[in-house]
Amino acid sequence: MFNSFFLSDILLWVYLIASCCYIVYMALKKDWIGHLAFALTVLGWLVNTAALVVRTIETGRAPYANLYETMVLLSWLVIMGYIAIELKYSSRLRIVGAVIVTLAFLAIGAAAMLPYRYQAIEPLIPALQSNWLILHVITTFVGYAGFAIAFGIGIMYLLKERSEQRGKPSFFDRFPSSELLDDLNYKFIAIGFPFVTLGIILGAIWANYAWGGYWSWDPKETWSLIVWFIYAGYFHGRLVRGWRGRKTAYFSIIGFIAVVFLYWGVSFVLPGLHAYA
């Protein structure tokens, strides 16, 4: 059956094989394996695109309305971000894929393991029938994707820094220098932050249209604010107090853990308006 679930099953395998290739590339340091890994990633992204398009056709609306759909959207954005790095820095930063593609694989895997009611195609409830919602979801997820990439890069930074300090040849030699990783970390948070901010604002506009109040302190709103404060702390620490390197890497990891809680934890653990997505 050629439907979106079938495509996302394929996608899972493509991302898995690609991320294995990256790890082999790290171990063997052979360029052709790197090329292969990247080609598989691009293939995965195309399948990912197809999965979104097919889902849109199946549901007759933008694919944003439940956890499963937004996970597929998230992995699409994350891989797109990675391909953008590749294009901007040529293949110098190819190895970043080892972490980023693994993240996308995990996202699709988690989406596949969701209980069926989080995957099923259901008609939208009245509150969700709004164009503001489309903008709200897309901007929010661009923001999440930025934070996810920064998280991956933060982890790479910590690994690389350790191996640089040891000064011996290591598994992580192919990683870009810790300086460049630190710079990239900032760049992706600097993309994530304005988009998440815009997502929060659009959510407020939408809430004001749907319920007559722009802020009601429901758990999802509150957690988005928590995430926002964490990254605001990151900027001020970095820009004004001169934090670099390990400190900011930890920040990007803690920030992303909060994002994961905002995205999954709040939906499953805490009650509130956003319980559906």
Partner 1 sequence: METAAQTEVGSRQRGVYLKVYDFFSSVKLAVVVFFLLATGSILGTVIEQGLDPQEYIERYGEKWYYWINLFNLTNLYHSWWFTLLLALLATNLAVCLSKRLPSIWRAYYVVDCDFTHNLVQNLKNCTIIKFQGNAEEAKHKIASLLKGHKYKLWVENNPPENSAEDISIFAAKGRIGRLGSTITHISIFIILTGTVVSSAIGFRSFYPVYEGQPLYVPQGDFYVSLDKFWIDYNENGSIKDYFSKLSVVDHGKKMMTKTIQVNDPLQYKGFWFYQSSYGLAWDRVDKALIRIIDKKSGKIVVEEALDFRKEKEIKGTGLRLNVTNFVSHFAYDAQRKQVYAKSPEHENPAVQLEIVEDGNLIATPWLFYDPKLHNMFPIEKSKFDFILADYRSPQYSGLQMAKDPGVNLVWIGSGLLMAGLFISFFIFHRRLWIKIEPSEKSALIYLGGLTNKDSYGFEKELKSIVESF
What residues make contact with ligand HEM under the rule CB under 6 A?
232, 235-236, 239-240
Q: Smallest distance from the beta carbon of 211 to partner 1, in angstroms?
A: 6
Q: Smallest distance from the beta carbon of 232 to ligand HEM, in angstroms?
A: 5
Cβ contact 143:77 at 8 Å? no
* Residue 197 binds partner 1 (CB under 8 A): yes
Element (H, E) at 175: none
Q: What are phi and psi of 175, to 5 degrees?
A: -60, 145
Q: Which stretch binds partner 1 (CB under 8 A): 49-57, 61-69, 111-119, 236-244?
A: 236-244
Binders of partner 1: how many residues, by CB under 8 A?
46
Could you tell which of ligand HEM, partner 1, none binds residue 204, using a CB distance below 5 to 8 A set by kind?
partner 1
Cβ contact 83:94 at 8 Å? no
Distance from C-alpha of 38 to C-alpha of 95, rounded to nearest angstrom: 9
* Residue 233 binds partner 1 (CB under 8 A): yes
All residues at 6 or more sequence positions from 44 whose CB lies less than 8 Å from its CB, including other chains = 11, 14, 15, 18, 79, 101, 104
Residue type, 252: S
Q: Smallest distance from the beta carbon of 72 to partner 1, in angstroms?
A: 24
Q: Coil, strand, or helix at residue 228?
A: helix
Distance from C-alpha of 120 to C-alpha of 123, rounded to nearest angstrom: 10
Could you tell which of partner 1, ligand HEM, none binds residue 242, using a CB distance below 5 to 8 A set by kind?
none
All residues at 6 or more sequence positions from 185 whose CB lies less than 8 Å from its CB, including other chains = 150, 153, 154, 157, 248, 249, 252
* Residue 222 binds partner 1 (CB under 8 A): yes
Q: 44 vs 176, which CB is nearer to partner 1?
A: 176
Q: 237 vs 272, which CB is nearer to ligand HEM?
A: 237
User: Of residues 62, 121, 155, 198, which one binds partner 1 by CB under 8 A?
Assistant: 198
Q: Smallest distance from the beta carbon of 174 to partner 1, in angstroms?
A: 19
User: Of residues 225, 260, 273, 277, which one binds partner 1 by CB under 8 A?
Assistant: 225
Distance from C-alpha of 275 to C-alpha of 277, rounded to nearest angstrom: 6
Query: Which residue is listed with tokens 């598989």?
Result: 40
User: Of residues 36, 43, 135, 214, which one binds partner 1 by CB under 8 A?
Assistant: 214
DSSP class of residue 60 equals T
Which residues of this protein are in contact with partner 1, per CB under 8 A? 122-123, 125-127, 129-130, 132, 180, 183, 187, 190-191, 193-194, 197-198, 201, 204-206, 208-215, 217, 219, 222-223, 225-226, 229-230, 232-233, 236-237, 240-241, 266, 270-271
